[in-house]
Structure 1
Amino acid sequence: MSTDAALRLATEADLPTVAEVYLAARAVAAMPPGIHPPDDVRSWVRTWDLTEREVWVAEHGGAVVGFANLTPTWLDGLYVDPGAQRGGIGSTLVELAKSVRPDGFGLWVFEVNEPARAFYRRHGFVELERTDGSANEEHAPDLKLVWPGADPLAHYRSLIDDVDLVLGDVLARRAALTRVVRDHKRTVSSVEDPARDAERELEIVDRVAAIVPELGPERVARIMHAIISESLDASR
């Protein structure tokens, strides 16, 4: 099939067809099996609120053969009917998404879905995060990808700002817990400045290093030493 497809915003009347495209495309994709029965998926798609998301459909020969599901900051799904794949419709939908989200957006893809990962890499997406899949329904490892938009540096910095807010909250909680533990040790031991637990700190380093293998144990050890030391200092 050629890329000669018409693009338009979906209406509620399109949602049943969108559900069928989703089911057909997912059935042949390099993805973990869906965990919901087809009829549940159909019911779910029919509940999509088109005032809160943009669902763009690609039509060919009067039939909907693909769609892109966009929120303000995410591409929540892009699927093309198997009979219409490898004809450029997916690329057309991605380029449309870029045009309506010029500041950038993110998406999630399963780690095993190498065809999709390669597709998005060709379109300028960058793999940012990798998870063990514990947060998705399939419990399958996945990756967060972003297209950084017309100003990549600004987009990346906005993502860093979001992470730093989370980091600040985590540091505040860590400092509060360190203070409570130190006060407890002082109470039960009658020692003004209790010794640090070196064995436990090594266990902490091992756990954190397993989460961020890119940093390696030595860097994680230095980071955790600084966090614990500064938290203890703040509690004095």
Structure 2
Amino acid sequence: MRPYAEADWATIARIHDAARLDELRDSAGPEAFLSLEETAEGEGLFDGQLWVAETRGTVTGFVALDGDEVTWLYVDPAHYRRGIGRALLRHAVAHAGDRARVTVLDGNPNALALYRSEGFVVLETRTGPLAGNERFTATGHIMERRAVTLPDDGTDRKG
């Protein structure tokens, strides 16, 4: 895991564009697709912190965090199911503070399963304009994960 560098642009654009089609397939539909080049600035890709995951020196995914919200998380489809998305998510959550939020499109069961397995719960489900391509409608699950705190009952847990 490392911070994004300008030299990563072409690679993260390729990753986004391939993975976004998978994300849209069973939600808003592939006809709602817009490339990263078309959406990055308007959708705030660079508004917060941005990291890339590398596997053997090759960028295989990226995650963006704006405040406490995971705003982007994409993994190269050639590297799905290898723990890269989980590592990216954990990295972002570690920088989010006491809570982390994310919106996951309905129809993306793999993403929902990942977030649930990392302690996120659905707070609300909304249907409205698709972020990034408002000409289309989508349903999104707003999810949150709060940091675990143990009650201070006066016992010594060191031992």
TM range (shorter): 0.7 to 0.9
- Counterpart residue identity of residue 54, structure 1: Q
> Aligned pair 1:54/2:54, yes or no?
no
User: Which one of the candidate residues 144, 156, 169 is aligned to 2:142?
Assistant: 144
Q: What's the offset of the Cα at 1:133? A: 2.3
Q: Distance in 1 between matches of 2:137 and 2:122?
A: 19
Q: Distance in 1 between matches of 2:125 and 2:146?
A: 17
> Aligned pair 1:35/2:32, yes or no?
yes
SS of residue paired to 1:28: helix
Map of 2:84 onto structure 1: 89
SS of residue paired to 2:85: helix
Q: What's the offset of the Cα at 1:9? A: 0.6
Q: Which runs of 5+ in 2 are unaligned?
A: 151-159
Map of 2:4 onto structure 1: 10
Q: Which runs of 5+ in 1 are unaligned?
A: 1-6, 153-236
CA displacement 1:36-70 (0-9 Å, x = unmatched): 543xx3254378674x3111100112211101111
Which has a greater percent of helix?
Answer: 1
> Aligned pair 1:125/2:120, yes or no?
yes
> Aligned pair 1:80/2:75, yes or no?
yes
> Aligned pair 1:63/2:58, yes or no?
yes
Q: Give me the CA root mean square deviation.
A: 2.3
> Aligned pair 1:19/2:13, yes or no?
yes
CA displacement 1:74-125 (0-9 Å, x = unmatched): 1001110011110111111111112111311211111221221111101100
Q: Distance in 2 between matches of 1:24 and 1:129?
A: 28
Per the normalisation by structure 1, the TM-score is 0.54
Q: How many residues in Structure 1 have an aligned counterpart in Structure 2?
A: 143
Q: Does 1 or 2 have the higher relative contact order (CA < 8 Å, sep 6+)?
A: 2
> Aligned pair 1:104/2:87, yes or no?
no
- Counterpart residue identity of residue 35, structure 1: A
SS of residue paired to 2:98: coil
Which has a greater percent of strand?
Answer: 2
SS of residue paired to 1:23: helix
CA displacement 1:17-50 (0-9 Å, x = unmatched): 2111111112223442263543xx3254378674
CA contact (8 A) 1:16 1:45 kept: no
Q: Distance in 2 between matches of 1:88 and 1:109?
A: 18
CA displacement 1:204-230 (0-9 Å, x = unmatched): xxxxxxxxxxxxxxxxxxxxxxxxxxx
CA contact (8 A) 1:19 1:45 kept: no
Q: What's the offset of the Cα at 1:141? A: 1.3
% of aligned pairs identical?
31
